[in-house]
Structure formats: structure tokens, C-alpha cells
Amino acid sequence: MTERLKVLISAYACSPYKGSELGVGWGFVSELAKHHDLWVIVEDEKCRDDIEHYLAEHPNALPSVKFLYLCKQRNRALRKIWPPSYYWYYRRWQQDALALAKILHAEIDFDLAHQLTMVGFREPGYLWQLGIPFVWGPVGGLGIFPWRFIFSVGWYGAFYYLGYNLYNIAQMKFMTRPSMAANVAGLGLFAATPDNQREILKHWGVANLVITEVGLPYEPTLSVCRRNESEPLRIIWTGLHIPRKALNLGLAALEFLPSPLKIEMHILGQGPRTKAWKQLADQLGVAKHCHFHGWLPRDQALDVMKSSHVLLITSLRDLTSTITIEALALGLPIICLDHCGFAHVVNDTCGIKVPLSSPSEAIAGLAKAITQLEQDEALRLSLAKGAVIRSQDFAWQNKVEVVNDIYRRKMVEARQTGVSS
């Protein structure tokens, strides 16, 4: 049985109703609360309404959690002109969180502090300065956009990710506070993906574990969607329509499919690249296979997913994304690039990974994978069943078992070295 600890958590983003970073915060907090007494510092404007609404409807849900709200100063006009200005105010919020943490620690005497969200490596907060056992993670954002694909995402995307790569390389090498926080965390540091794990070891010299930032959002399906011989293979793609999501690679793959194949691609989401991608589908002669749905209400989006046969992921720069685990839980095999967090989640039992060699080879690989699943329903069905099984590896309770082991090891380390707790 895990020792019940008094844990201070910095979870800038935390909501029971939203995904991405907000869902990451809530997933870890709600599961950790079963094992420890938690004091959770969250951002006021972003989180308070959702949390208080949830607790009003579920008054006995989290009796061992006390949420503390800090409001971040904002300058939305400045952020439109200079987006990185966001970090100025975010850093100030983290400084305020440290000030509050010191007051709380003097009263409560925490056993351990955990920097949880946001996941990005650029801002590790300041809880590592409290002088108690410190855990940081999941950590993401390290690494670069694949150089060979720079010119495959349009001129704006190429310019943006060229700058992004140079900026990220400089920050990984020269930012001191993330390195200092990582070394204080030591064995209490964990990465969101294997590529982040490698970059952490390379730049900060700290061995670390991989724990994906996203978890299983609901119970896995009991039966997978079977495809009749007369049905087309229904492929779903979903996400923001921005350069790094690289739907253009998936559209190009459709052009290389053998003509007798029966294919439908259902594309959810929208964004700056929507118009360009629709035009590309027309130019490639594959528009008849593509159904652009835009953003759908969650229940409708789930209906589209449930009636589909495979999820296609073409993203070139991401962590893992909730949709990956959602698809597995619904029994959807995944075709993806062997990259980002998808490379860690998807294995031979639940999908097909395409090597990230060059744009042309990636397109050919995606086309081959789609063709294989369209022509071999037995294989697709086997992968669908494997997807349901694989999804259970990412249940929140399984993640927190690993986190609890990290907590235990940090406490043992602290007692052996005399660090206050």
C-alpha cells in the first residue's frame, strides 16, 4: 500500500470538462486524490468555474483535494502582436504560485511537490526551490520539427518551423531553469514521449521515465465496428487544420491508392489550412473520397468515430493527443507516422506505423497501410481488437501507479540524504 502523502501540485491547467492540458491536469489530480491528500494550485480564470461546477454536482467526489486559485495577469492585445509574451505572464503566475506555496508549506509541511501542468519544458515553475522532494512531469515540447518535412507544410509552415527549430534548439541548450529543475527532480522527472525522454537525457543529463500525458477518457468498447464487404473503408482524421498536422500527406496518399479501392475519409476540425487542403483534394482528384465536417459537437464527433474503421494521424509535431487513446478505446486501428507520442502508443497489435524518412516515402507508406487495411478485413479486425486491449494500458490508474512509485522513491531518497520532507 502506498504511503499517503501531503502533496502540493502546481496544475495551471486543470478542468473536468475539457481536453488537452486541462484534461491532463484533471486526469492526474482526480486519480492521485485516491492515494494522497492534495493541495492543487490552478489558474483562476481558466479553471475555477469548471472545477466549482463539477464539485457542486459531485460534492463527495474529491474530499482529499483542496483547490487554490491564482489569477494570471493577461495582455491579450500584446499577445496578438507578440505571441511569446504569453510566457512573461505565465512565468509571473508561477512566481506567485511559489509565494503561495511557501505560505502553505509553513502551515501544512508538505511531503512532496509536483509540477504537473503545463507540460511544456520552457516553464518548470519554482516549486523545486521549496527544499522538499520534487517531481516534474510529464514534460514535453523538447525536440524539433523533422527537417526533411519542412517544405512539405507550405511556405508559411516552412518559415514558421524553421524558426521554431532554431528557437527550440537554443532553448534546449541554453535555458538554465529547466535544467536546474530537472536535476532537482532527478529520478522524479518523467517525459511525455520517448523523443522527449531522449532530449532530456541529451541536454540535461537526467535519466527519466516515459509517462504519456493523456489517459483513457472512458471505458473501452465491448465490441468493435465490423466492415461489410460492400462498405467503403471509412477513415477518420481529426484535429486543427494547421501546418504541423500535415493532412496534406494523407490526401496525397489517397492519390496513390489502387482505383478499385473503396475509401471514405471523414475529416473533422478546421483552421487556417482548411481552404488549402480542400483545394489540394480537388487538385489531386480525391475530393470525392473526402468529407470535411468542420468542428462537430462531441457526441456527433464520437458518432463519426464509432462508425469509422481506422484513424489516420499525419501530425509532424505533437505529443500524444487525447484522440489517440480515444480511438483505441473505440476499437479503431491507427495508421500514423513513426514519430511523436504516437510512436510510443501505437504498436503492432493496434496499428501501422510509417517510417519518418522523407515526404515522398511517408506518403507511399501511408498509401500502402491504407491499402492493406482496405484489402484485409481480418487484419483490420485483429488490429481493432488489439486497439481496445492496448487502450487499457493508458488508464489513469495505471499511470498513477507509476507516479506513486516515483513518489515513494523520492521519499526514500529524501530520507537517505536528509532532505526535509
Give tens-digit pLDDT for 37-54: 999 999 999 999 999 999
pLDDT of residue 419: 61
Phi and psi of 358, rounded to 5°?
-150, 160
Q: How many helices (H) does the chain have, and how many strands (E)? A: 15, 13
Name which of 387, 224, 392, 245 is nearest 308 in CA terms: 224
How much is the average pLDDT of 388-398? 94
Decide which of 230 and 361 is more confident.
361
pLDDT of residue 199: 95
pLDDT of residue 219: 81
pLDDT of residue 75: 78
Name which of 113, 139, 118, 94 is nearest 36 in CA terms: 113
pLDDT of residue 1: 53
Query: In the chain, what percentage of residues exceed pLDDT 90?
Result: 84
Q: Residue 113, Cβ neighbours under 10 Å: how many?
A: 29
CA distances 85 to 78, 89, 139, 143, 370, Å, are 7, 7, 21, 22, 42
Each residue's pLDDT tens digit, 116-139: 999 999 999 999 999 999 999 999
Each residue's pLDDT tens digit, 198-225: 999 999 999 999 999 999 887 888 788 8
pLDDT of residue 225: 85
Report how far residue 132's alpha carbon sits from residue 363's, in angstroms, rounded to the nearest whole number.
50
How much is the average pLDDT of 317-321? 88
Report how far residue 52's alpha carbon sits from residue 301's, in angstroms, rounded to the nearest whole number.
27
Any idea which residue has 487554490 for its cell? 68
pLDDT of residue 421: 45
209, 186 in Cβ contact below 8 A?
no
Q: State the cell numbers at 9.
A: 501540485
* 420 has pLDDT over 60: no
* 326, HSE (Cβ side, Cα atoms, 13 Å): 22
* 297, HSE (Cβ side, Cα atoms, 13 Å): 2
pLDDT of residue 115: 98
Each residue's pLDDT tens digit, 158-182: 999 999 999 999 999 999 999 999 9
pLDDT of residue 2: 67
Query: In the chain, what percentage of residues exceed pLDDT 70?
Result: 99
8, 112 in Cβ contact below 8 A?
yes
Decide which of 77 and 378 is more confident.
378
pLDDT of residue 221: 82
Each residue's pLDDT tens digit, 179-203: 999 999 999 999 999 999 999 999 9
Report how far residue 407's alpha carbon sits from residue 112's, in angstroms, rounded to the nearest whole number.
8
Any idea which residue has 471523414 for its cell? 266
Helix (H) or strand (E) holding 215: none
Domains along the sequence of the chain with CATH: 6-140+175-215+395-417 (3.40.50.2000), 233-393 (3.40.50.2000)
* 233 has pLDDT over 70: yes
Report how far residue 412's alpha carbon sits from residue 187's, in angstroms, rounded to the nearest whole number.
11
pLDDT of residue 209: 93
Q: State the cell numbers at 209.
A: 521515465
* 76 has pLDDT over 90: no
Each residue's pLDDT tens digit, 85-115: 778 889 999 999 999 999 999 999 999 999 9
Any idea which residue has 516549486 for its cell? 127
266, 293 in Cβ contact below 8 A?
yes
Prediction pTM value: 0.91
* 366 has pLDDT over 90: yes
Radius of gyration of the chain (CA): 22
Report how far residue 94's alpha carbon sits from residue 72's, in angstroms, rounded to the nearest whole number.
9
Q: Average model confidence (pLDDT) for the chain?
A: 93
Q: State the cell numbers at 405.
A: 512509485
How much is the average pLDDT of 251-271? 93
DSSP state letters, 322-387: HHHHHHHHTT--EEEES-TTHHHH--TTTEEEEP-S-HHHHHHHHHHHHHHHHH-HHHHHHHHHHH
Strand order in the sheet with 263-268: 290-294, 263-268, 233-238, 310-313, 334-337, 351-354
